[in-house]
Structure 1
Amino acid sequence: MKSNQFKIVIDDTREILKWISHISKWFFPLILAKNIIQATLPYIHILFGYLILDGIIAKDSSSDIMKNLYWMIGLNLGLGLLHSFLTRLLNVKTEYIHHATKAEIARKAQTLDYEELEKKESLDLLRRAEEGINSNGGIPSFCNTIGSLITHAITIVYSILLLSGLFIAAPKENATVLERVFNSPLPTLLFFILFASALFLNFKISEQLNKRSYAFFEENVDTNRILNYFGGVSNNYNFGKDIRIYGMADMIQEEMNQKNDAIITMMRSLGITYGRYSALIEIVNQFVIFSVYIFVGIKAILGLVSIGSILKYVGALIRFIGAVSSITIFYTQLDLQRQYLNNYSLFLNLENKKYQGTLPIEKRDDNEYELEFRNVSFRYPNSPDTVLDRISFKLKVGNKMAIVGRNGAGKTTFIKLLCRLYDPTEGEILLNGINIKKYDYKEYLQIFSVVFQDFKLFSFDIGQNVAASIDVNEEKVWKALEQSGISERVKKMDRGIYTNIYQNEENGIEISGGEAQKIAISRALYRDAPIVILDEPTSALDPMAEYEIYARFDHMVSQKTSIYISHRMSSCRFCDHILVFDKGRIAQVGNHTTLMKDEKGLYHTLWTKQAKYYN
């Protein structure tokens, strides 16, 4: 079992080092070089200190003594400067690694299938990955831990080389019993037993501490997520109005205090455990060091080692003991850190399961596209509820279609399936008679311009938000802004379309909900796709403003296929077809005139309730 665990640690460490090398191939080699120098520096003092002291006692020539002194100073200075340079270089690379790992997580989240990303398991793994690269110092600390293991391994090698003479019998005539004992292999055997016992005890204690630490991390993933959420809400001015008007500050603070108290209680318990175990480790180590002093001291008194050798052996023995103890600590720490980082690795290794397809989308000048839902049903992952139930219909290019219904009827889910954010649980969706799964996924998405109900704008300038790109066609941006009715507002801004929105950037401005929706509509128009979908994008506008937007929009997309989804019914007048959704099924199909004739139908009920807004 232990050998299997060791193999797991080694295999995981090798895998982590591979993707660290992918981020920065020189990061770990630089850490390795730095730690080799760090391990070497103390032994320069020990070795040359011993040579200088023995030279003074033996009355060697001053030139020989000074030569050793110069070598000691020169090596210390050269290696010290190199160590300092590598430390500064690694500080820069550490910052780069930290941001690069965050960017890798963001990139994976952006490219993972939407269906996979929205799963609770994936979101939990994403949170664990984010916390994993921050816990225990993340990747830089992991590399430093490996570097420290190498440092201490080299320290042990250096120490053994210097200590080899301590356990070799010194020839002495008429030796006493005590001298014969200390010249025999017995002390070596006793020291080996003592070191092995101390090493085993250190390892077991460190192993227990790291198990407690990781258990603490696991138990607090959700708690930390909640604290981060409420901390972000409290610091986000967008929530400020609701917090103040409804007096929610105490409520939020109470929730945060409860979570903080739970963490503090666990940390206090963990701290007490750490204190007890650390004290035990220190007692064991001090006992071993005390034994070393006694052993070397007695050998010096008996004349079995020189005065200079005392400095060498004591220094080497103390560093040997420290290295052996540290290796157990750093190994168990490495085991702990690789568990944290495994979450990062596991998230990056999540696979896209959506079939990407290979067929190109036919580029048609006449925009002749036909979409068909054929007996489509859908359930969200890990949910038994059927959101869409046996949906069938056809939509041809140039048609205007409205989808209406009560909340939760499945309207937005319908759009997610059409855009292949999800695949149907049953049935199929066809484009020009071919299952959309067979088309190249990226090309398929290019035929849609969508303004979702919960659309997002980003902290770029207005032009980049509209173009959805760093490269902006100014003329095309202004045309889209004019079509959506917000160009005059943008012209009044100091920097026009180069004005940053939101206050994450310098000189960023805040925009109203209605202005944001018009910019989102401009983005859909800028793309100039053959199929345009508006998923309740005008909810922040008053009914008359919404009617005007739809009237203008209907003219702008007259040669395109357009799909309107809304709680409000103003869009329906322009549409050739209206699908009325109810409880995941199509309850009615027709146009405004035919559907209004059915006074008992859901469409008539919804329209009648809102009719006063459109008269």
Structure 2
Amino acid sequence: MKLKQFYQQTHDLIQLLKVQFPHITVQMLTLAFCRSTPNFIVLFGYSRILDLLLTSQFQAAIQVVTIMLVSSYLLSFIGNWIDSYLQGYEFITDEVIMSQVNYMSFTMRYDIFEDNDSMTKVRAVSNRMNATGGTGSFLQIIILLCTNLFSALYAFCFVGYLFYQAMQYSFYLVLLLLLAVGCICLGVMILKRTSAYYEDLNKRNIHNNSVFSYLLTTMVNVEYKKQMMINRMGQLFEKYFKNIIKTFHVYLDFSKRKGRYESVYNFVLSIFGACTYIYIVYLSLHGYLSIGSVLLYAGAIQQLIQYISGCIISYSDAVFQLDYLNYFTDFLHDESIRTTGSLPIEKRNDNAYEFCFENVSFHYPNSEQLVLSNVNLTFKIGEKLALVGQNGAGKTTIIKLLCRLYQPTEGRILLNGIDIQKFDFNEYTKIFSPVFQDFSMFNISAKENLECGHHNEEKDINAIIADVGLEKRFTSGHDGLDCVLEDLNSEGVKLSGGEAQKLAIARALYKDAPFVILDEPTAALDPFSEAEIYENFDKLVGGKTAIYISHRMSSCKFCDRIVVFKDGKLVEDGNHDSLMHKQGEYYTLYQAQAEYYQQ
């Protein structure tokens, strides 16, 4: 990882944490200063005390001791005080990062979110945080890196002054400087090689890390427990775990390689230190340095070696810790993954909205096969529109495009003559109340599932619950609609499939949007039950625009208009009677299904 990239990612992380901890940068730098300075105060103090004692300046020696002790203890006290604050931060820094990751996932375009590669990278943030100790561990390494940098700077100043004093011995000085430069270059080379290898290692193991996380989650999920027990899947899972653990052995090999590199580097630094010690002794024997100065410079050189090595190691550790944020910062700065558009939706008292599909074609990402081909369709407010056709005909894709979950590959969709991509996404989605085929209920209260965080003063939530036939379900318990669904706690309410469908319909009714969509949420039911739900739902939505999707022709006979899709193309458009009289695709499908739904 390049230094500029490292700085940018560290800066992004700190800026993100500043929202919760405004003074974290100052606190970290102050702590590093307080940790690094006392060592050199003591080192300088000892050298001065020794020179003063050898010249019988006892009063001055006592003053130096006093200043050294007071300043060292004061800095240590301030450092410990700040450290206690930063340790408290460590408990919630990971939550700050993960909440931002979750927020980015929430604002991400649906097609990006649905892409396996994108979500693997998002999951990699969480997996790598767990593997590396999280953000709190990274902050401690950054503080250690800053401490090593401050300490190396102090030591460099002392050693630099030593070299300045001995300029007349330039030949030996040049040799030492060349050796020092060689040590730094060797350290940078080792750092680059280990960092590049580690980054490549993590990229190659993103999939394995995701599989490992999935297996751990699945093993403790009660939904899979029956299948695992009855089908005796233990050996299968054990095989997966063993295969993944084998791939993790490459990290052990990396640690061994990194250890060898660091051993070579420390050996070279030791040679540099030994040569510098010899140089100091030489200067002392020729009377250029006092006994105290020998102690000072010998200690400074030892510290310089230690802290240069510490800078290399802590920077390397920080790069490894920061690896998981590569994907995080990519998403943070990538505006292409977010929805576009800024226009507000026109507020019309007459609700005169008209949608128009103009030559719309579409294929899913990573596929060239068209799911929709040159679709032209217009519908207005107040219509009861049915989209029918066999499975895979493109009905649900139409709804995904309409709701801006995907963008057309070709053509465009207009709302009152304006391309829907130009509207603000949050504003745009307010006009739809969909019930998708794969609807979900969240492990929160029934009321929160209905409101979705948006209280509607104009709607009576209890009346809606009664309309969909759930009043007994949520009045029999003492919590009513405040009861928690599923397994968020031990008292969570488990809804049946039919109850969940009714609650999903109630959610759409409560939103009170001008366009209501029913996208085959009853596909698992028999034809008679589905037709009954559709007709009851039609009564509940009243004069709103309702779009019904089904592969069963009989479920939508009551609609004002029926649009028939086949192989991604719009092939017929009309009401039930006109399409039956035409004896085309709709008629053929209706007759083929008649034995299942005709009374």
Q: Report the Cα distance in structure 1 between the residues aligned to 2:471 and 2:524, rounded to whole angstroms.
A: 18
Query: Which residue in the other structure is 1:387 paired with?
Result: 371
The 3 A distance-change label for structure 1 pair 434 and 329 is closer
Q: Report the Cα distance in structure 2 between the residues aligned to 1:542 and 1:242, rounded to whole angstroms.
A: 26
Query: Which residue in the other structure is 2:85 paired with?
Result: 89
Contact map agreement 2:357 2:378 (CA 8 A) in 1: yes
The 3 A distance-change label for structure 1 pair 549 and 165 is closer
Equivalent residue in structure 1 for 2:65, among 66, 69, 72: 69
Offset at 1:475? 6.8
**2:18 paired with 1:35:** no
The 3 A distance-change label for structure 1 pair 12 and 443 is closer
The 3 A distance-change label for structure 1 pair 64 and 229 is same
Query: Which residue in the other structure is 2:194 paired with?
Result: 209
Query: Which residue in the other structure is 1:480 paired with?
Result: 464
**2:569 paired with 1:573:** no
Query: Which residue in the other structure is 2:23 paired with?
Result: 26
Contact map agreement 2:553 2:589 (CA 8 A) in 1: no
Q: Report the Cα distance in structure 2 between the residues aligned to 1:377 and 1:160, rounded to whole angstroms.
A: 67
**2:111 paired with 1:105:** no
Superposed counterparts of 1:269-348, under 5 Å: 269-296=253-280, 305-331=289-315, 340-348=324-332
**2:446 paired with 1:462:** yes
| Structure 2 residues not aligned, in runs of 5+ | none
The 3 A distance-change label for structure 1 pair 559 and 73 is same
Contact map agreement 2:141 2:314 (CA 8 A) in 1: yes
**2:230 paired with 1:233:** no
Secondary structure of the equivalent of 1:574? coil
Q: Report the Cα distance in structure 1 between the residues aligned to 2:373 and 2:4, rounded to whole angstroms.
A: 50
The 3 A distance-change label for structure 1 pair 565 and 38 is same
Equivalent residue in structure 2 for 1:445, among 429, 432, 439: 429
Offset at 1:448? 1.2
Contact map agreement 1:517 1:540 (CA 8 A) in 2: no
Q: Report the Cα distance in structure 2 between the residues aligned to 1:31 and 1:312, rounded to whole angstroms.
A: 28
Query: Which residue in the other structure is 1:412 paired with?
Result: 396
Contact map agreement 2:121 2:206 (CA 8 A) in 1: no
Query: Which residue in the other structure is 1:584 paired with?
Result: 568
Contact map agreement 1:169 1:184 (CA 8 A) in 2: no
Q: Which moved more, 1:508-517 or 1:596-605?
A: 596-605
Q: Report the Cα distance in structure 2 between the residues aligned to 1:39 and 1:232, rounded to whole angstroms.
A: 44
User: Given the two structures, how large is their TM-score scaled by the length of structure 1?
Assistant: 0.86
The 3 A distance-change label for structure 1 pair 481 and 294 is same
Query: Which residue in the other structure is 1:49 paired with?
Result: 46
The 3 A distance-change label for structure 1 pair 134 and 573 is same
Offset at 1:134? 6.1
Offset at 1:49? 2.4
**2:358 paired with 1:358:** no
Equivalent residue in structure 2 for 1:126, among 122, 128, 143: 122
Aligned residue identity for 2:43:
I
Q: Which moved more, 1:439-448 or 1:310-319?
A: 439-448
Q: Report the Cα distance in structure 2 between the residues aligned to 1:247 and 1:43, rounded to whole angstroms.
A: 65
Contact map agreement 2:386 2:548 (CA 8 A) in 1: yes
Secondary structure of the equivalent of 2:557? helix
Query: Which residue in the other structure is 1:198 paired with?
Result: 183
Q: Report the Cα distance in structure 2 between the residues aligned to 1:446 and 1:475, rounded to whole angstroms.
A: 16
Q: Report Cα offsets for 1:158-186 as digits up to 9, x if no partner.
A: 2244346655779xxxxxxxxxxx99444
Contact map agreement 1:198 1:325 (CA 8 A) in 2: no
Q: Report the Cα distance in structure 1 between the residues aligned to 2:367 and 2:155, rounded to whole angstroms.
A: 62
Query: Which residue in the other structure is 1:518 paired with?
Result: 502
Q: Report Cα offsets for 1:526-575 as digits up to 9, x if no partner.
A: 01112110111124555554444323212111211211223445522332
Q: Which moved more, 1:93-102 or 1:476-485?
A: 93-102
The 3 A distance-change label for structure 1 pair 580 and 479 is same
Q: Report the Cα distance in structure 1 between the residues aligned to 2:117 and 2:252, rounded to whole angstroms.
A: 30
Q: Report Cα offsets for 1:335-374 as digits up to 9, x if no partner.
A: 6666653432221122247552525324234x44443334
Offset at 1:416? 0.8
Query: Which residue in the other structure is 1:252 paired with?
Result: 237
Q: Report the Cα distance in structure 1 between the residues aligned to 2:582 and 2:228, rounded to whole angstroms.
A: 46
Contact map agreement 1:467 1:527 (CA 8 A) in 2: yes
Q: Report Cα offsets for 1:457-481 as digits up to 9, x if no partner.
A: 2232111110111647697222222
Equivalent residue in structure 2 for 1:498, among 462, 465, 482: 482
Q: Which moved more, 1:22-31 or 1:317-326?
A: 22-31
Offset at 1:16? 6.0
Q: Report the Cα distance in structure 1 between the residues aligned to 2:424 and 2:204, rounded to whole angstroms.
A: 43
User: Given the two structures, how large is their TM-score scaled by the length of structure 2?
Assistant: 0.88
Q: Report the Cα distance in structure 2 between the residues aligned to 1:542 and 1:244, rounded to whole angstroms.
A: 31
Q: Report Cα offsets for 1:79-112 as digits up to 9, x if no partner.
A: 1121112112122334443222222222222223
Q: Report Cα offsets for 1:277-297 as digits up to 9, x if no partner.
A: 122123223333444555555
Q: Report the Cα distance in structure 2 between the residues aligned to 1:389 and 1:523, rounded to whole angstroms.
A: 33
Q: Report the Cα distance in structure 2 between the residues aligned to 1:167 and 1:430, rounded to whole angstroms.
A: 76
Secondary structure of the equivalent of 1:563? strand
Query: Which residue in the other structure is 1:175 paired with?
Result: none
Q: Report the Cα distance in structure 2 between the residues aligned to 1:606 and 1:45, rounded to whole angstroms.
A: 93
Query: Which residue in the other structure is 1:399 paired with?
Result: 383
Offset at 1:434? 4.8
Equivalent residue in structure 2 for 1:60, among 52, 57, 73: 57
Q: Report Cα offsets for 1:478-505 as digits up to 9, x if no partner.
A: 2222222222112223311111223235
Q: Report the Cα distance in structure 2 between the residues aligned to 1:221 and 1:322, rounded to whole angstroms.
A: 35
| Structure 1 residues not aligned, in runs of 5+ | 171-181
Q: Report the Cα distance in structure 2 between the residues aligned to 1:215 and 1:301, rounded to whole angstroms.
A: 53
Q: Report the Cα distance in structure 2 between the residues aligned to 1:532 and 1:570, rounded to whole angstroms.
A: 20
Q: Report the Cα distance in structure 2 between the residues aligned to 1:192 and 1:290, rounded to whole angstroms.
A: 14
Q: Report the Cα distance in structure 2 between the residues aligned to 1:30 and 1:15, rounded to whole angstroms.
A: 17
Aligned residue identity for 2:23:
W
Aligned residue identity for 2:485:
I
The 3 A distance-change label for structure 1 pair 238 and 494 is farther
The 3 A distance-change label for structure 1 pair 207 and 69 is same
Secondary structure of the equivalent of 2:104? helix
The 3 A distance-change label for structure 1 pair 469 and 540 is farther
The 3 A distance-change label for structure 1 pair 48 and 586 is same
Q: Report the Cα distance in structure 2 between the residues aligned to 1:273 and 1:422, rounded to whole angstroms.
A: 47
Secondary structure of the equivalent of 2:369? coil
Aligned residue identity for 2:181:
A
Aligned residue identity for 2:409:
T
Offset at 1:383? 2.0
Percent identity between the aligned chains?
32
Q: Report the Cα distance in structure 2 between the residues aligned to 1:49 and 1:25, rounded to whole angstroms.
A: 39
**2:520 paired with 1:536:** yes
Q: Report the Cα distance in structure 2 between the residues aligned to 1:379 and 1:280, rounded to whole angstroms.
A: 56
CA RMSD of aligned residues (A): 3.5
Aligned residue identity for 1:419:
C
The 3 A distance-change label for structure 1 pair 326 and 355 is closer
Offset at 1:118? 3.4
Offset at 1:447? 1.8
The 3 A distance-change label for structure 1 pair 84 and 169 is closer
